[in-house]
Structure 1
Amino acid sequence: MDLDELLWAGADAQAQALRDGTVSAPDLLEAVLRRADAVDPRLNLFRIVYAAEARAAAAEAQRRLDAGERTPLLGVPIAVKDDLDVAGDVTGMGGRPQFPPAEQDAPTVARLRAAGAVIVGHTNTPDRCLWPFTETLTHGATRNPWHLDHTSGGSSGGSAAAVAAGVVGAATGSDGGGSVRIPAMFCGLFGLKTTRGLIDMGPEEHWHGLSVVGPLGRRVADAAAMLDVIAEEDHPGGLYRDSADTDPEPLRIALAWRTPLGKVPIEAQRKQAVLETAERLRALGHEVVVADPPLGVRPTQQFMIRYLRGVADDVAALPHPEWLEPRTRRIAAVGRRIPDGVLARTRAAEHDLDGRMRGFFHDFDVILQPGWTGRQPRIGRYHGAGAAHTLAGVSMGIPYFPTWNVLGYPAAAVPAGRDSVGLPMGVQLIGPSFGEHQLLSLAGQLERAHPWAGDRPAL
């Protein structure tokens, strides 16, 4: 496989080629940097590329490979979302950086670096990672490699687009209300919102427990290999990468159409993609029946209180809130009105929702749900819009995502074909807490039966 082809093979295949010695880490990195130079002017993937630092890291990774060391990502170029600290660089989170360069790596970055992954750069996000589109007054719009007039999603839009465009084989994302799953679906990738607590995010929760770190990859194996590096080590189940290769036993799968907002309109092609996925799962030997989790409307209130107050607390810690976009400041102003007591009662109420879902997961192993309910927004759809207009607009697309952030459960975004204009579509698979092995196993089985990674955007 030549270098250009290897760029499209994904992080796991790149790691195997490095282990086999069919490519060197420095040569692979140079191909990545050439690809980034070629497509970044059109897509706006990176806030910064660490060319010199990455070359030094690739040389060190090759030394480790030559010495016989092996890790899941040794020598593999990886992009990092611009919400995780990378030592020596500022962390912009979509806007003008508020703090000096980081003195040390975030835990996820430190784990990647220790495993020999080559950190390529910081990818673009919306302002303070608030939105399901990546378009800011500071850095402009990140475009979807499949259709440049449309967004790559958010808030991990730069990371998803970098993988979809064949620059890197995997990237980090984070998900506080769909921010891994939405860009994965928009860009035709596999993405995994992980269980709360599975990946170390430092000493403080983000958005009061809503947000977690998760991997994005071209294939299930890419995300699984990254998870073996960045996840905490005290949860049983063996290697995540092995689960991606192992078919699950026949599972009981609930096809859930209802959201906390009730039954919501879904664009016809995207609804059909869910139904076709259900049929594919049945053909693989699984039982799929229509059944809705017994949660009612409460997850919406839970999410909004924690999201709004989380944004307010984030902004309150910034030295220059006046540098933020107007709608970000407005969201923070609303969040500041939420009293501590209301927030505390909201967090305590999660226990009852979790109890209800534990009962549901006695009857079912996995939930199948739609993802974004319509076509990806066009670039500029929310440019200059106020907080209320933006929040109301994106809320129409996201009703299937926030419940799983409230509960802290794992949820996978799985590609499910493309629509009539060539834009990717996707579905969600949700499991109980620390159910990542089962989700990777089921998604891997689906991918083997119906591969999705062979198609490439015609940039």
Structure 2
Amino acid sequence: MADELLWAGADAQAAALRDGAVSSPELTAAVLRRIEALDPSLNAFRIVYAEQAGRAAAAAQERIDAGERTPLLGVPVAVKDDLDVAGDVTGMGGRPQFPPAEQDSPAVARLRSAGAVIVGHTRTPDRCLWPFTESLTHGATRNPWHLDHTPGGSSGGSAAAVAAGIVGVATGSDGGGSIRIPAGACGIFGLKTTRGLIDTGPEEHWHGLAVIGPLGRRVADAAAMLDVVADVRAALGDGESGTYRAAADADPGRLRIALSWRTPLGNPPMEAQRKRAAEDAAERLSALGHDVVVADPPLGARPSPQFLVRWLRGVADDVAGLPHPEWLEPRTRRIAALGRRVPDRTLAWALAAESDLDSRMQGFFADYDVILQPGWTRRQPRIGRYHGAGVANTLAGVSMGIPYFPTWNVLGYPAAAVPVGRDSAGLPIGVQLIGPAFSERLLLSLAGQYERAHPWTGDRPPL
């Protein structure tokens, strides 16, 4: 029972725990067995908290037996290795620079308070910089659908763990696509949240580009995690109430959806099968009763320089206080050097210019409720594709595959990654659904409706 339940997702696992069909220690033991069996091939975890998870599962079961209920009580979850977990180092994809954390990060503290069982820290590239999860320190994390390909990045370890049926939900972070990229690469659901919805700690990472969000097997899994980790006051910014989990089951009503092909880099070259997948998704949404038309947001090329300035300077500021910068990968050191050349006045311009983009989008969202865009424009790279490549070659190579993602980090808007098919090699294809600030409930409702009509969780990678 517990082994099969691993494929059901975190929300179904929570229901089974509430119903007494399985205990948290049994479910956690199944997760740990699966990590032991699969992680030598996947390399999804930097560390596994086997003993701590066992104790947390026993404590969670006591709470369940006492009648307590939370969305993730007793459910095993994984945490990306960019969030502090008390008692463990936070590696950020490389050699850990600081001693073990004395306390949990805010999101981890909320998970722990809700009784979620944290089973380990998942892999990420050095300083979370890349849309592939490979590092000189830890090697390559692999895609469960095809071990020769990347699961994406930077939340690649979390995405691989969810796609492989190890955990039903995991944390990710997204500063330029780092939740949506691996979700699309691994055929799972991911949600980049509105800036400010989830507490990221005392400092904005990469000058407001980066946020925390969930990756789950199903829409309901991500919604359940959001109910635990989202800031309640910020969540009311959409004027709505009710749980995110309820939103995932709700009918979104008839929506006006803009199918957008344009990026700040223009209309990028795209594999025919991926363009067709986005067109199919548009047709399916139309069949569900929505008004879908081709329309591009009035942003032009503006988001690209704003993103680049904030990203480069953000990386430089991120590594400025590290005690051992020599431990960083050469590619990371080079990006930080470029970022140090960004003047304060240029950063101030990029931050101030966001308001103009937001004003333009307010008019656009008066006419449309949601934007539909492709995800990756090409197949996920093979493992080692960028090994040894310099900064210029790496940036040029990856940028053409992921041009649809960074704009929404500049604006701080929520964006959901939704699986819509697989390519000729059997690798997943996904699309994005984007809404205005604090429209997570709307995106969850629309994605949940799509999932019910076109479920994706019945397919399992050939592990």
The bucket for the TM-score relative to the shorter chain is: over 0.9
Residue of structure 2 in register with 1:99 after alignment:
98
- For the residues of structure 1 that align with 2:219 and 2:265, how far apart are their CA atoms? 31
- For the residues of structure 2 that align with 1:450 and 1:243, how far apart are their CA atoms? 18
Match among 317, 332, 339 for residue 336 of structure 2: 332
Match among 428, 438, 452 for residue 448 of structure 1: 452
- Structure 1 position 18 matched with structure 2 position 17: yes
Residue of structure 2 in register with 1:60 after alignment:
59
- Structure 1 position 384 matched with structure 2 position 408: no
Match among 358, 361, 369 for residue 357 of structure 1: 361
- For the residues of structure 1 that align with 2:132 and 2:435, how far apart are their CA atoms? 26
1:317 positional shift: 1.4
User: Equivalent residue of 1:174, what SS?
Assistant: strand
Deviations 1:166-189 (A, max 9, x none): 100000000000000000000000
Residue of structure 2 in register with 1:168 after alignment:
167
Residue of structure 2 in register with 1:212 after alignment:
211
Residue of structure 2 in register with 1:225 after alignment:
224
- Structure 1 position 346 matched with structure 2 position 356: no
| Letter matched to residue 360 of structure 2 | R
- Structure 1 position 396 matched with structure 2 position 400: yes
Residue of structure 2 in register with 1:8 after alignment:
7
- Structure 1 position 295 matched with structure 2 position 327: no
- Structure 1 position 186 matched with structure 2 position 190: no
Match among 245, 248, 258 for residue 244 of structure 1: 248
User: Equivalent residue of 2:251, what SS?
Assistant: coil
Deviations 1:312-346 (A, max 9, x none): 00110111110000000000000000000110111
Match among 361, 371, 380 for residue 375 of structure 2: 371
Alpha carbons 1:151, 1:379 under 8 Å: kept: yes
Deviations 1:241-271 (A, max 9, x none): 0000011110000000011111111111110
Residue of structure 2 in register with 1:43 after alignment:
42
User: Equivalent residue of 1:248, what SS?
Assistant: coil
1:416 positional shift: 0.8
CA RMSD of superposed structures (Å): 0.5
| Letter matched to residue 230 of structure 2 | A
- For the residues of structure 2 that align with 1:273 and 1:79, how far apart are their CA atoms? 30
| Letter matched to residue 265 of structure 1 | P
User: Equivalent residue of 2:371, what SS?
Assistant: strand
Kindly, what percent of the aligned residue pairs are identical?
A: 80
Alpha carbons 2:415, 2:435 under 8 Å: kept: yes
Deviates more, 1:234-243 or 1:212-221: 234-243
Q: Map 1:21-170; keep pairs closer than 5 Å.
A: 21-170=20-169
Which structure 1 residue ranges, 5 or more long, are not aligned? Answer: none
| Letter matched to residue 373 of structure 1 | T
- For the residues of structure 2 that align with 1:315 and 1:294, how far apart are their CA atoms? 35
Deviations 1:15-49 (A, max 9, x none): 00000000000000000000000000000010000
User: Equivalent residue of 1:6, what SS?
Assistant: helix
Alpha carbons 1:309, 1:336 under 8 Å: kept: yes
Residue of structure 1 in register with 2:422 after alignment:
418
- For the residues of structure 1 that align with 2:8 and 2:374, how far apart are their CA atoms? 27
- For the residues of structure 1 that align with 2:7 and 2:186, how far apart are their CA atoms? 14
User: Equivalent residue of 1:143, what SS?
Assistant: coil
Match among 365, 389, 412 for residue 408 of structure 1: 412
User: Equivalent residue of 1:254, what SS?
Assistant: strand
User: Equivalent residue of 1:341, what SS?
Assistant: helix
User: Equivalent residue of 1:292, what SS?
Assistant: coil
1:4 positional shift: 1.5
Alpha carbons 2:9, 2:167 under 8 Å: kept: yes
- For the residues of structure 1 that align with 2:83 and 2:17, how far apart are their CA atoms? 26
Deviations 1:383-436 (A, max 9, x none): 111111111110111110000000000000000110111000000000000000
- For the residues of structure 1 that align with 2:2 and 2:72, how far apart are their CA atoms? 17
- Structure 1 position 263 matched with structure 2 position 267: yes
- What number of residue pairs does the alignment pair up? 458
Which structure 2 residue ranges, 5 or more long, are not aligned? Answer: none
Alpha carbons 1:188, 1:426 under 8 Å: kept: yes
- For the residues of structure 1 that align with 2:173 and 2:55, how far apart are their CA atoms? 27
Alpha carbons 1:237, 1:437 under 8 Å: kept: no
- For the residues of structure 2 that align with 1:426 and 1:346, how far apart are their CA atoms? 30
Deviations 1:276-319 (A, max 9, x none): 00000000000000000000101000000000000000110111
Alpha carbons 2:3, 2:27 under 8 Å: kept: no
- For the residues of structure 2 that align with 1:300 and 1:6, how far apart are their CA atoms? 43
User: Equivalent residue of 2:148, what SS?
Assistant: strand
Residue of structure 2 in register with 1:200 after alignment:
199
1:3 positional shift: 1.4
Q: Map 1:303-322; keep pairs closer than 5 Å.
A: 303-322=307-326
